Amino acid sequence: MDPRAAAIFRERGIQVDEKPGLTPEEFKAIIGDYDGLAVRSSTRVNAEAMDAAIPRLKVIGRAGIGVDTIDVPAATARGIVVMNTPFGNSITTAEHAIAMLFALAREIPAADQSTQAGKWEKNRFMGVELSGKTLGLIGCGNIGSIVADRAHGLKMKVVAYDPFLSPERALELGVDKVELDELLRRADFISLHTPLTDQTRGILSREALAKTKPGVRIVNCARGGLIDEAALKEGLESGHIAGAALDVFMQEPAKENPLFGTPNLICTPHLGASTNEAQVNVAIQVAEQMADFLLLGGITNAVNMPSLSAEEAPRLKPYMALAEKLGRLVGQVAGADIRSVAVEVEGAAAELNMKPITGAVLAGLMGTYSDTVNMVNAPVYAKERGLDVKEVRHEREVDYHTLVAVTVGTAEGDKRVAGTLFGNRAARLVDIFGVAVEADLTPRMIYIVNTDAPGFIGSLGTTLGKAGVNIATFNLGRRKAGGEAVALVAVDDPITPELTEELRKLPGVRQVVPLTF
Ligand SMILES: NC(=O)c1ccc[n+]([C@@H]2O[C@H](COP(=O)([O-])OP(=O)(O)OC[C@H]3O[C@@H](n4cnc5c(N)ncnc54)[C@H](O)[C@@H]3O)[C@@H](O)[C@H]2O)c1
Ligand SMILES: O=C(O)[C@H](O)COP(=O)(O)O
């Protein structure tokens, strides 16, 4: 990685160690001491490596585009953010693809070798022009569209197969959006620019290669698994495929490959992103993004979390703390049978990015069932439990300058809690299950539901006092005089299961739940 990455981390006060060439065992032995891991494509980060890295590792930064070398679902499940740098090397990689097109069209590597061997084989190297030929792009995202632009400059006609390319964008790029079979039939040159996913693996399969135009030339600067290498070799040997230029291989590093030595094959060792400019770009970008996340909570270009700018993050922080506490409160009081969650925001909260607020509610809620939940994996846990999650942004006059409310759907009906920010920072509960109670949500509390009657507070205080539990604050609310009353008691000492049982036996008590925040 370009040394500018390490320099940025240091400038921003993050200690950084550079450890190239570690064996997997050496990697696992040290990774548990780091908050962040920045990698290029040659470092494969699998679930086992992540298990050695948690609980400390919070973020993996990929100085490049493809994240197929990182087990993203495993990272998400472990609460680790994965970020990449989507644009930093796209021009460079597109230029490599164009260089490969020329190299194939004029057999430049073979001509160079032959000339330097003193053979002067002028008649052997009869090339083809690019001008007027049809280039088929499989994948027309950032890199594919730059290739299309450069190819237009070379007077090529460009067709593209990309199910996610809109007709408007195709028009803007001046490419014909076609189905894969049509591209295979029409293209004189094919260049691949998709990520490697379950859908794209083997997209140039034996069957697909058989449908290509005789004499087709193929460039792959995307990922090795996209082409069936054995079928490609046969196609090159039979002459159906006039040439292939590969920067990427099914097995990397490709020190041996059955394709090597096949006629009309050009290979480079995964050099697509290897220019000074691209490496500086991705190094700076990955370091800035990771530092923003570790120092400020900003999230940019994460592949497993919604974005949150470094400017927004400090403004959202108190709201996320409130949201997490409300989620935690409702998770502890409403029990395990929660089927749906609705997050509502009003007032000042309604003007903010809502995704992180919802993420924090889910992290608090799911955190009552598992210690390993955070903002990254909470939505996955929620999905696994079949929770239906809704977000509602109200634009109406409210009593509080800002309000976040969480309603959970349970077998007993909906249960709602709401809170505000006091002095724009401190999380304060204002409503619990329809009872107005103002309470700061502090680390240890007890939630008590009882029948409103004289003497209850005295007996509660006596029981806690006898158990050596000091009361910090006492907050009360009730539906009506003599009806259901709610107490939220902040305490300085832990509440044991025995004490909880004792509290449950006090006259008029209906429910006691010790809470932690
Ligand atoms: N050789 C290198 O050094 C190098 C450098 C950079 C990137 N890459 C590879 O290039 C890939 C593309 O990079 P990008 O920046 O253009 O990514 P991108 O996400 O901007 O574009 C990828 C395009 O592929 C399309 N796509 C997805 N699934 C598809 C499918 N089944 N069929 C057809 N199209 C499909 C997407 O719609 C998208 O438009 C990266 O994922 C990476 O693997 C390689
Ligand atoms: O996906 C990418 O960005 C490329 O594969 C380049 O990665 P590298 O420069 O880290 O090899």
- Of 332, 326, 321, the closest CA to residue 344 belongs to 326
| CA distance to 105, 204, 424, per residue, from 100 (Å) | 8, 18, 58
Is-catalytic flag, 252?
yes
Query: Closest residue (by CA) to atom 8 of ligand 1?
Result: 222
**Per-residue pLDDT band at 350 (split at 50, 70, 90):** very high
C-alpha to C-alpha distance for 184 and 181, rounded to whole angstroms: 5
C-alpha to C-alpha distance for 429 and 243, rounded to whole angstroms: 69
Which atom from ligand 2 is nearest to the alpha carbon of 66? 1
- Of 344, 317, 316, the closest CA to residue 330 belongs to 344
**Helix (H/G/I), strand (E/B), else coil: 375:** coil
**Per-residue pLDDT band at 468 (split at 50, 70, 90):** very high
Backbone angles phi, psi at 198, to 5 degrees: -60, -30
pLDDT of residue 122: 96
Contacts of 94 (CB under 8 A, 6+ apart): 143, 146, 147, 150
Ligand nearest to the CA of 41: 2
Question: Which pairs from 506-510 meet CB under 8 Å and 24+ separation?
Answer: 506/450, 506/456, 506/459, 506/460, 506/463, 507/453, 507/456, 507/459, 508/450, 508/451, 508/453, 508/456, 509/448, 509/449, 509/450, 510/449, 510/450, 510/451, 510/484
Determine whether the shortest distance from the Cβ of 146 to ligand 2 is under 6 A: no
**Per-residue pLDDT band at 334 (split at 50, 70, 90):** confident
Q: Which CATH superfamily is domain 443-517 in?
A: ACT domain (3.30.70.260)
Does the 4-88+277-296 domain belong in CATH 3.40.50.720?
yes
326-358 CB burial, b ≥16 within 10 A, e <16: bbbbbbbbbeeebeebbbbbbbbbbebbbbbbb
pLDDT of residue 163: 87
pLDDT of residue 481: 82
**Per-residue pLDDT band at 2 (split at 50, 70, 90):** very high
pLDDT above 90 (res 411): no
Q: Which CATH architecture has domain 90-267?
A: 3-Layer(aba) Sandwich (3.40)
Is-catalytic flag, 96?
no
pLDDT of residue 19: 93
pLDDT above 90 (res 370): no
Residue among 87, 95, 100, 143 to mutate when testing ligand 1 (max atoms within 8 A of CB): 143
Quick one: average pLDDT of 228-245?
Answer: 98
Fold of 311-441: 60s Ribosomal Protein L30; Chain: A; (3.30.1330)
Determine whether the shortest distance from the Cβ of 224 to ligand 2 is under 6 A: no
Q: pLDDT per residue over 418-464, tens digit each? A: 999 988 778 999 999 999 999 999 999 999 999 988 888 999 999 99
What ipTM describes this predicted complex? 0.99
Q: pLDDT per residue over 108-135, tens digit each? A: 999 999 999 999 999 999 999 999 999 9
* Lookup: tokens for 120: 């002067």
Q: pLDDT per residue over 276-313, tens digit each? A: 999 999 999 999 999 999 999 999 999 998 888 888 89
% of the chain with per-residue pLDDT over 70: 100
C-alpha to C-alpha distance for 318 and 325, rounded to whole angstroms: 11
Helices (H), ranges, 397-443: none
Please provide the average confidence, as pLDDT, over all residues in the chain. 94
How is the chain split into domains, by residue range?
4-88+277-296, 90-267, 311-441, 443-517
Q: pLDDT per residue over 39-98, tens digit each? A: 999 999 999 999 999 999 999 999 999 999 999 999 998 999 999 999 999 999 999 999
Is-catalytic flag, 428?
no
**Helix (H/G/I), strand (E/B), else coil: 14:** coil
C-alpha to C-alpha distance for 203 and 366, rounded to whole angstroms: 39
Asked if the domains 4-88+277-296 and 90-267 are classified in one and the same CATH topology, the answer is yes
pLDDT of residue 469: 95
Determine whether the shortest distance from the Cβ of 143 to ligand 1 is under 6 A: yes
